[in-house]
């Protein structure tokens, strides 16, 4: 009898922890600190291990293998766009915007190997990212058009049942989708879907629609994990000072323009 009672208490506790928390207006409460765990930031598609750019780093600089997060397995590039992606990949150790501390753009901000925080309100949803102090404010009211193209775009959100849907437009063409050179144009529209499957997990999906680069819209999907530490917070990673040589290397050394050489 005692064993049954203990088992019942354990099951009840497990059931309670799995319940989806909700705000006063009944929507799932996704406020918290979240992070993707995986290798999507290295490459959205299936990829094997590779050596890093500097042999001095040994295994520390190597690329880990990873399972792709692209629905169908392959990003549907137009032929000329695929050639540009391959060129990006060949030059990734100097051209990746992440390397230069530029803001990550959408959807890449969600799966960088650093946490981000969601603060959920009724009229706006704030997302603050540790990397490069990037942030965005998602409008939950009447949709607004993007005034200008920016790194993080203009986001308009709404609820479809228990899923937060954010339609992002006004993205510039400077960000990459991962470290492997996958990219987009400034015609990109990203539709994100955040579904809280239980208290500590979000099913994250993002559909990319860019007729200048891709033959059709395509989707990625992954899990975001809540940092359950009661003292969890995001830190400051103002990375410009770490990226100065990458940013300005073309302005110094033997290949610099004559007027900049010292």
Measure the CA–CA gap between 252 and 249, rounded to whole angstroms: 6
Measure the CA–CA gap between 19 and 33, rounded to whole angstroms: 18
Measure the CA–CA gap between 22 and 26, rounded to whole angstroms: 6
Whether residue 126 contacts residue 234, with contact meaning beta carbons closer than 8 Å, is answered with: no
Beta bridge partners of 154: 169
Q: What are phi and psi of 20, to 5 degrees?
A: -85, 120
Nearest partner of 43 among 103, 114, 96, 79, judged by Cα? 96
Beta bridge partners of 225: 35, 201
Which position has the token pair 């009898």? 1
At 15 the pLDDT is 53
Nearest partner of 84 among 212, 218, 249, judged by Cα? 212
Residue 44, SS3?
A: coil
In terms of phi and psi (left: phi > 0; alpha: psi -120 to 50; beta: otherwise), the region of 259 is: alpha
| Residuewise pLDDT in 10s, the chain (262 residues) | 566 665 655 554 445 445 899 999 999 999 999 999 999 999 999 999 999 998 899 999 899 999 999 999 999 999 999 999 999 999 999 999 999 999 999 999 999 999 999 999 999 999 999 999 999 999 999 999 999 999 999 999 999 999 999 999 999 999 999 999 999 999 999 999 999 999 999 999 999 999 999 999 999 999 999 999 999 999 999 898 888 877 776 666 666 656 555 5
């Amino acid at each position: 009898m005692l064993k049954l009672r203990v088992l019942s208490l354990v099951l009840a506790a497990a059931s309670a922890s799995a319940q989806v928390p909700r705000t006063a207006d009944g929507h799932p409460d996704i406020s918290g600190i979240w992070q993707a765990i995986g290798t999507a930031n290295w490459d959205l598609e299936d990829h094997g291990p590779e050596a890093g750019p500097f042999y001095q780093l040994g295994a520390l600089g190597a690329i880990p293998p990873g399972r792709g997060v692209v629905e169908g397995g392959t990003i549907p590039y137009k032929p000329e766009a695929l050639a540009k992606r391959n060129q990006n990949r060949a030059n990734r150790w100097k051209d990746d915007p992440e390397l230069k501390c530029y803001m990550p753009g959408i959807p890449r901000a969600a799966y960088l190997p650093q946490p981000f925080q969601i603060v959920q309100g009724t009229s706006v949803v704030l997302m603050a990212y540790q990397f490069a102090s990037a942030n965005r404010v998602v409008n939950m009211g009447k949709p607004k058009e993007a005034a200008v193209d920016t790194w993080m775009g203009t986001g308009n959100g709404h609820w479809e049942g228990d899923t937060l849907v954010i339609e992002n437009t006004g993205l510039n063409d400077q960000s990459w989708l991962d470290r492997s050179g996958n990219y987009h144009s400034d015609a990109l529209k990203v539709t994100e879907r955040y579904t809280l499957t239980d208290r500590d997990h979000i099913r994250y999906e993002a559909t990319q629609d860019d007729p200048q680069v891709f033959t059709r819209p395509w989707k990625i999907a992954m899990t975001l994990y809540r940092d359950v530490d009661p003292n969890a917070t995001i830190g400051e990673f103002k990375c410009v000072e770490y990226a100065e040589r990458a940013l300005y290397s073309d302005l110094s050394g033997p290949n610099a323009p004559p007027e900049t050489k010292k």
